[in-house]
């Protein structure tokens, strides 16, 4: 599918400088641009490439001022924020690319399931009894949607996703391949025979609107009630969210993080990769946690933490300077000891 420069400008709120009828059909990095492609420039480090790119259209910031002649074949679309505008185009491209509708012949859809308009259900997908699928939602190959699960409108479930019984996914969500929504929590109780007896988890998982879940991330169902991922939260790949956890609006969590049961994470938090958070904690709104930190106590609003066990980032940095100086300090101590020993003789 082709787009002309004037159409791209209309979509991104930009203005065309060059050929308004210049047409493109693919996206490219600026250093790899070729005829018929569109690219963007927002990072000044990549500015030299705009003078040699073979792309047909480049999205640039309004304040971009060329320092030399641009290729005569290049049309510019000037926008307030080139990176954001290009992200809009990527989203439009994905919408077009995954715009299939209909139910594949190999899919299994229960007669009691409720399927909305313009839905796509891919090969070997399973939609169980009394499940609800909203309008314009796309469910790709090998997805399993359990009994009475509800999927909202304009949501995308990539291949191999599992949404177990009674779980709820809102509108405009994306769940990447292999993610598991609503598996049992890790709950066991020692019995009189000193064996571990499984604690049933009869709650569910709720993903509110505009949530994205990364590939192979697992979100456990609640023991009672719900494990909740609030509106706009973004979870990376390979994350473990335990039973009854709540994650606040617009919080972002990087890969390989684990959050133990019943911890409450506030809104607008930023959590780095490989962070471990113990259970039954409260993490305040706007908190930031550096990668590989271990969190064993509550965190106040807007606090920044680092380390394992974690503490305030200012103290951590000062401590790290001292830690880095320990080898030199050790050498000095040894030199003093040697000097004292020699003088003692």
CA distance 23 to 17: 14
Helix/strand/coil for 158: coil
CB 133 within 8 A of CB 112: no
Q: Which of 176, 150, 186, 187 minimizes the C-alpha distance to 165?
A: 150
CA distance 17 to 134: 41
CA distance 331 to 311: 29
Residue/partner pairs of 27-34 with CB below 8 Å, 24 or more apart: 27/89, 27/90, 27/93, 28/55, 30/55, 30/58, 33/58
DSSP E strand stretches across 75-136: 75-79, 102-103, 108-109, 114-115, 120-121, 126-127, 132-133
CA distance 30 to 49: 6
CA distance 310 to 293: 6
Q: Which of 96, 5, 21, 11 minimizes the C-alpha distance to 57?
A: 5
CA distance 152 to 140: 15
Catalytic annotation, pick one of 142, 201, 243, 339:
243
Cis, bond preceding 336 (omega within 30 deg of 0):
no
CA distance 142 to 216: 14
- Is 243 noted as a catalytic residue in this protein? yes
CA 97 from chain centre, in angstroms, equals 20
Beta 304-307 vs 310-312: how paired, if at all?
Answer: antiparallel
| Composition of the chain by helix, strand, coil, percent to 5 | 20, 30, 50
Catalytic residues: 243
């Amino acid at each position: 599918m082709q787009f002309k420069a004037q159409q791209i400008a209309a979509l991104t709120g930009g203005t065309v400088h060059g050929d308004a009828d210049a047409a493109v059909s693919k996206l490219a990095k600026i250093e790899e641009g070729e005829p018929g492609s569109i690219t963007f420039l927002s990072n000044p480090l990549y500015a030299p490439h705009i003078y040699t790119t073979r792309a047909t259209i480049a999205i640039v910031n309004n304040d971009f001022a060329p320092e030399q002649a641009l290729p005569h074949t290049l049309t510019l679309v000037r926008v307030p924020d080139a990176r954001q505008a290009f992200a809009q185009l990527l989203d439009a491209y994905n919408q077009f690319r995954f715009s299939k509708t209909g139910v594949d012949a190999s899919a299994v859809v229960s007669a009691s399931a409720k399927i909305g308009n313009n839905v796509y259900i891919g090969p070997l997908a399973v939609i169980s009894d009394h499940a609800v699928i909203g309008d314009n939602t796309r469910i790709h190959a090998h997805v399993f949607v359990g009994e009475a699960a509800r999927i909202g409108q304009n949501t995308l479930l990539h291949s191999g996703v599992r949404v177990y019984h009674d779980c709820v996914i809102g509108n405009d969500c994306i769940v990447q391949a292999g993610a598991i929504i609503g598996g049992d929590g890790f709950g066991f109780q020692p019995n009189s025979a000193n064996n571990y007896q499984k604690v049933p988890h009869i709650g569910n998982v709720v993903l509110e609107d505009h949530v994205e879940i990364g590939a192979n991330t697992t979100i456990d169902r609640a023991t009672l009630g719900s494990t909740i991922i609030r509106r706009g939260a973004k979870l990376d790949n390979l994350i473990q969210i335990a039973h009854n956890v709540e994650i606040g609006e617009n919080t972002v969590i990087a890969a390989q993080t684990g959050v133990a049961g019943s911890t409450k994470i506030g809104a607008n938090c930023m959590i780095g990769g490989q962070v471990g958070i113990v259970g039954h904690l409260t993490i305040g709104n706007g908190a930031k946690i550096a990668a590989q930190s271990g969190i064993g106590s509550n965190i106040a609003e807007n606090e920044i933490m680092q380390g394992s066990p974690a503490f305030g980032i200012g103290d951590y940095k000062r401590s790290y300077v001292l830690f880095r100086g320990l080898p030199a300090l050790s050498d000095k101590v040894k030199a003093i000891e040697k000097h004292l020993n020699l003088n003692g003789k």
